[in-house]
Structure 1
């Protein structure tokens, strides 16, 4: 199944009125506009590799989102997932996404703990999505597992500095990795080499179950609509990968807003996956340990800025526990 990609912005936005820039843009640098089509509000997102550092880090020519659309993968998501993209265009190397405006349903951009029922629903719907594509033979290979582990690496910071990038995140990555070595040398000794070259981690995960993952289940990309479906957008790190890499990312990036312990969240996801008929017994412990280690490979730099607190201690222990599993 393939889905048409429009060849121009004019074609994509035919009939659109009331074009208004959205001042608050994401950390990637992507441009957003709000428009009206057929009397309904929509959002237009422009993904330009010349200005969007996350696109450069994805390792995909063009945009992974275009390929998702072209291959019809977004249309195959389970009914519990509300992804808002309704049309896609490519013009002069820029990807343009036309989306329903789901702003009213999004998780508020605060530091507040997310309600337990909403958090558990996110985990349940994550498991449903993973089960839908479990061990699929279909073409879901987009962003590679290796590239995903390199996205927040020192190489990314160095590349963006060489390009003269002005986005705030890459310099933080560059400062955070040396800081991790100062505040948590045990953790750094394990994960810093993997952040430079994740081959051993990727190889150790090979042979464990894989599925189609989103790659960025952070609360900024999530919401709950009036039908209790999970709103899920920013499809810029998708691909074939171990399902628990999605879970580990979720735990790492949302850590300050989780309503219960990481252990409880892990248990909730596992129960949800088993309700979908997936047997977790043979592979669970091995993949979980490696994916939790992988999350620190992705976020060790960020954890370092809070010092050697309980959060970093928890992740360091997971890294130490998993080190012997590396290929």
Structure 2
């Protein structure tokens, strides 16, 4: 089912439109700017309150190439988060996942995404419980099984990230291009990749640095294997859990880095960004996800593609996030209290790089 974009925010946020969209009686609408610590792309947020604060509350996310550096880095000239809603892909997500999007609108040269306010159900930066970790991994497997080799993902209207975008969005070229435009992340990207050269063994540097600058061999290798809808940014700040109809469901926000790619691209990102919060080892996370995916795919699942795409994607996980992992292991103030963990984590990723390189 396709959805129609509202022509502007004013029409989207009328009481009549919100009443129609939500099935609730909305008589008045107010909005004000909202700050979110983990919003690192440059997008802008509004809190939308209704009925004088007594009605339902929503979040309006504004995105534009003018202020969102990740959109610029991934060639997102049509807002893929909006496209996934507009062309019905989000409607097809498995029942385990809630995306929160209600409607979308144009906003001048940019776009606006109206979402349910799910802030109270989102994960804090705190240890993840075992049962919750399993919920997330099962939801990830359900997503990947639902869209395995789905030709709908090839629709150019979606303008999904390419795998090249996946592995260059946090690369040094992006850092150099975006430096001085007001966001701290590009500077951190450059610092991290410089540290990679001095902190890693020479053989690993010789694998990683060429791929960071040109991931073509990695992209070509992954293209040999099945593809699915990859969320692309499966980290704690985009994850939550909500109970509906007696069942706990995964909230998964921010689809701006979505791509059609190998399933394990998501598990690699999940491991790289959430590592310090896990209740179990990364190996146990991978094994649980694998079992869930195999169960859902049945005879579509095969070790002949599973293992190579996993090992390549783990190599890719470091090509994507190695800058941050090295910073967390060495100099980044925000993770100083977890330094020992990230130093051990860095050693783990070094071995994944060596293992994955044989498939290039």
Q: After TM superposition, is the score higher than 0.5?
A: yes
1:203–1:265: structure 2 CA closer, same or farther, 3 Å change rule? same
Q: Counterparts in 2 of 1:211-222, with a 5 A limit?
A: 211-222=228-239
Query: How far does the alpha carbon of each residue in 1:207-245 deviate from its partner, in whole angstroms, 9 at most, with x for none?
Result: 211101111110100000013110011110112100100
Q: Counterparts in 2 of 1:108-257, with a 5 A limit?
A: 108=124, 110=125, 112-140=126-154, 142-161=160-179, 164-186=180-202, 187-227=204-244, 228-257=248-277
CA distance in 2, matches of 1:189, 1:175: 18
Matched, 1:303 2:303: no
Name the SS of the counterpart of 1:36 in structure 2: strand
Q: CA deviation at 1:6?
A: 1.1
Query: How far does the alpha carbon of each residue in 1:248-291 deviate from its partner, in whole angstroms, 9 at most, with x for none?
Result: 11001111111111100000000111121342322111111100
CA distance in 2, matches of 1:285, 1:212: 19
CA distance in 2, matches of 1:63, 1:265: 32
Across the aligned residues of Structure 1 and Structure 2, the Cα RMSD in angstroms comes to 1.4
CA distance in 1, matches of 2:297, 2:167: 29
Name the SS of the counterpart of 1:254 in structure 2: helix
Q: What count of residue pairs does the alignment treat as equivalent?
A: 322
Query: How far does the alpha carbon of each residue in 1:65-94 deviate from its partner, in whole angstroms, 9 at most, with x for none?
Result: 121122111111111111101000113221
Structure with bigger helix share is 2
TM-score scaled by length of structure 2: 0.86
Matched, 1:293 2:315: yes
Higher relative contact order (CA 8 A, sep 6+): 1
Query: How far does the alpha carbon of each residue in 1:170-226 deviate from its partner, in whole angstroms, 9 at most, with x for none?
Result: 100011101111111433221111111100001111121110111111010000001
1:49 and 1:55 in contact (8 A); partners too? yes
> Which of structure 1's runs of 4+ aligned residues deviate more than 3 A?
none
Q: 1:47 aligns with which of 63, 69, 76?
A: 63
Max radius of gyration: which structure? Answer: 2
1:182–1:292: structure 2 CA closer, same or farther, 3 Å change rule? same
